[in-house]
Structure 1
Amino acid sequence: MASDILKKIIEQKIDIFAGTFGEDASNIFTRDKKLFHPLEYGMYKERCIKELLSFVSSKSVGISDGFLITSKNSVSTQCDIVMYDKDTIPLIDNGIAHFYPVEIVKGIGEVKSTLNKVEFTKALVKLARNKLLYQERKGRLKSEERRFSENSEIFSFLVCNKLSFDITKIDFDEVYNEISDVKCRHNVVLSLQDGILTYTLNFSELPTKQKEHFINMGGDIKANPVIWNYPHHTEEDEFYKCCNNFIKINYDDKYKHIIHFLIIIKALLEEGYEYDFDFVEYLTNDKVKIFS
């Protein structure tokens, strides 16, 4: 049973978001059909999505922008959105940009307007390259609670106003041909005017050990496929690649896909592993033992 009051409040917030992110924002920053102050326009959209994301984030989650860094001296390109554990360390700021040790980062996102196929591909590849840095985490897990392998990854998402192509005809193996690791693909894509791109997990297609474990837990492999918040499912040392699933906007319930997006982000925040940040790892060279 849903709460009509809470749903109404959320929908009011989404209504404001959709207006400011979409047509209203375009009108504010457009003169004589030409966009002026493109930087401010981009920052305006980012503020809109940050405010929306705050509705499903706990007080311990910071939402900002900047660069990911690792103890191996790797640096990401700039991320429009960085969701991070703000209780671990103070924000690292050099007066120009924000930097986040990869251990405290939960998710990253890109915010765009209308995208064609080339721009869409470029945005997803950028996300994937930045997401790849999660593999350089060196902090200890805060909890040893058993979860799936995918819960150890940084999640990534793309939010745009509209897609100028048919997303159902996209070959994502072609989109990600430069990045072979499926784990680094996006978790969810939200297009305000088109719908939401997620994944599905089909129980009957699971690898042998995963299927046996699912049955032993009382599951029915004949059950309908379920929405999965990750591009893969890895368990029992077996890898399963999930299928893309585009859910088209329902104009009779025009904000349903946005609510669905928020539910996925909330789940990703809650499911992800948390890591300790080791300050020493970032300040010392493995070859130099300063405490010997």
Structure 2
Amino acid sequence: MPSEIFEKILARKIETFKSVFLEDSEGIFKIDGKLFHAQEFGTYRERVLIEIIKSVIPERIQVKDGFVITSENRGSTQCDVILYDSDNTPVINDGVLRFFPIESVLAIGEVKSVIRSKAELKEILEKLAAQKKLDQDISSFRAEGEIITTFLVCKKIDFEFTIDFNDLYENVENKFRHNFILSLEDGLIAYSIEREYFSDANKEAFDHVFKGVSKMCEYPVVRGDLMPSVIVKSSVTEPNIHIKMFLHAIGSTLEHVRKPRIELQNYYSKGE
């Protein structure tokens, strides 16, 4: 039986999130319908998203913006949202910018307003895929489901799109695809574990584990096979179901990430 207290608190946070993300921020940063202070506009929405994410994750997991770096001298572009293990993170900064060792990073998110074209969506997803690839620079065993989570949050996808992302991920390995997309006006896009998408070798395992019943999941690849995308939309009876499922997906994927301790000596030259 759900907690009425938690339900009420979460419902209040969701309404605040929706109000600010969909309406208030535009009213604050637009004059005569024109956007001004675009950078502050984006930062405002990022902060609102960060606050609602914090309400469903452990305190040891912190959320900030910044850059991800690896001991192989690779790094990300600016990340809007980084979830990291504060118990395993020497946050490196130069007084202005923050850099997070990949070993401590659990999830990376992009925050956008309205996505108006397929080309724009492709660019965003390719950026997330490149960030997820940085996880390969960790020299430790990586089991399925433990790769970092990537997600996109936006107000709206404002063009006719399908949930078949194959042509948006040309030359990108399936395991580096996004985990989920939350469009406040369109719904939550995630994946569904479906028998027909498994190889013959995996169909028996599906029948044994899931008893022939499909199941929504947060991972693009299950047992090496790419799963189909699905979208969950809000309804009259459940107007916030897509947001609740997004928050659940954040918590669920964080439970499956296992990161090694940071060997900081790998990040600097040891000399001759």
What is the match of residue 270 of structure 1? 255
TM alignment of 1:215-254, pairs within 5 A? 218-223=208-213, 225-234=214-223, 239-254=224-239
Is the contact between residue 149 and residue 233 of structure 1 (CA under 8 Å) also seen in structure 2?
no
What is the match of residue 145 of structure 1? none
Name which of 180, 187, 191 aligns with 1:195.
187
Shift of 1:247: 1.4
For residues 89 and 191 of structure 2, the distance between their equivalents in structure 1, rounded to whole angstroms, comes to 33
Is the contact between residue 211 and residue 221 of structure 1 (CA under 8 Å) also seen in structure 2?
no
Q: Does 1:3 align with 2:3?
A: yes
What is the match of residue 105 of structure 1? 105
Shift of 1:220: 4.9
Letter in 1 for 2:209: G
Letter in 2 for 1:85: D
Letter in 2 for 1:222: G
Is the contact between residue 155 and residue 268 of structure 1 (CA under 8 Å) also seen in structure 2?
yes
3-state SS, counterpart of residue 259 of structure 2:
coil
**Structure-2 change in CA distance of 1:28 and 1:8 (3 Å):** same
**Structure-2 change in CA distance of 1:277 and 1:23 (3 Å):** same
Instruction: Tell me which moved more, 76-85 or 244-253.
Output: 244-253
3-state SS, counterpart of residue 58 of structure 2:
coil
Shift of 1:256: 1.1
TM alignment of 1:15-94, pairs within 5 A? 15-94=15-94
For residues 245 and 149 of structure 1, the distance between their equivalents in structure 2, rounded to whole angstroms, comes to 24
Shift of 1:153: 0.6
**Structure-2 change in CA distance of 1:229 and 1:170 (3 Å):** closer
Shift of 1:221: 4.2
List gaps (5 residues or longer) in structure 2.
none
Name which of 235, 238, 242 aligns with 1:257.
242
For residues 121 and 103 of structure 2, the distance between their equivalents in structure 1, rounded to whole angstroms, comes to 28
Shift of 1:222: 2.2
3-state SS, counterpart of residue 26 of structure 1:
helix
Name which of 158, 167, 173 aligns with 2:152.
158
Q: Deviations over 1:164-187 (max 9, x none)?
A: 1233x254111111x421111100
Is the contact between residue 204 and residue 221 of structure 1 (CA under 8 Å) also seen in structure 2?
no
Shift of 1:101: 0.8
3-state SS, counterpart of residue 266 of structure 2:
helix
For residues 126 and 194 of structure 2, the distance between their equivalents in structure 1, rounded to whole angstroms, comes to 26
Is the contact between residue 80 and residue 111 of structure 1 (CA under 8 Å) also seen in structure 2?
yes
Is the contact between residue 198 and residue 244 of structure 1 (CA under 8 Å) also seen in structure 2?
yes
**Structure-2 change in CA distance of 1:220 and 1:242 (3 Å):** closer
3-state SS, counterpart of residue 99 of structure 2:
strand
Letter in 2 for 1:226: K
3-state SS, counterpart of residue 200 of structure 1:
strand
Instruction: Tell me which moved more, 90-99 or 192-201.
Output: 90-99
3-state SS, counterpart of residue 103 of structure 1:
helix
Is the contact between residue 163 and residue 229 of structure 2 (CA under 8 Å) also seen in structure 1?
no
Letter in 1 for 2:221: H
**Structure-2 change in CA distance of 1:5 and 1:91 (3 Å):** same
For residues 220 and 129 of structure 1, the distance between their equivalents in structure 2, rounded to whole angstroms, comes to 32
Q: Deviations over 1:82-133 (max 9, x none)?
A: 0011111331111121101111100000001111122222211111111111
3-state SS, counterpart of residue 87 of structure 1:
helix
- Residue identity over aligned pairs, in percent, reads 36
Name which of 161, 175, 186 aligns with 2:178.
186
TM-score, normalised to structure 1's length?
0.87
List gaps (5 residues or longer) in structure 1.
142-147
Q: Deviations over 1:221-246 (max 9, x none)?
A: 422x1011111013xxxx11110101
Aligned residue-pair number: 271
Q: Deviations over 1:18-47 (max 9, x none)?
A: 111111110000011111111111100000
For residues 196 and 34 of structure 2, the distance between their equivalents in structure 1, rounded to whole angstroms, comes to 52
**Structure-2 change in CA distance of 1:150 and 1:165 (3 Å):** farther
Letter in 1 for 2:43: M
Shift of 1:272: 1.1
What is the match of residue 132 of structure 1? 133
Instruction: State the superposition RMSD in angstroms.
Output: 1.8
**Structure-2 change in CA distance of 1:229 and 1:51 (3 Å):** same
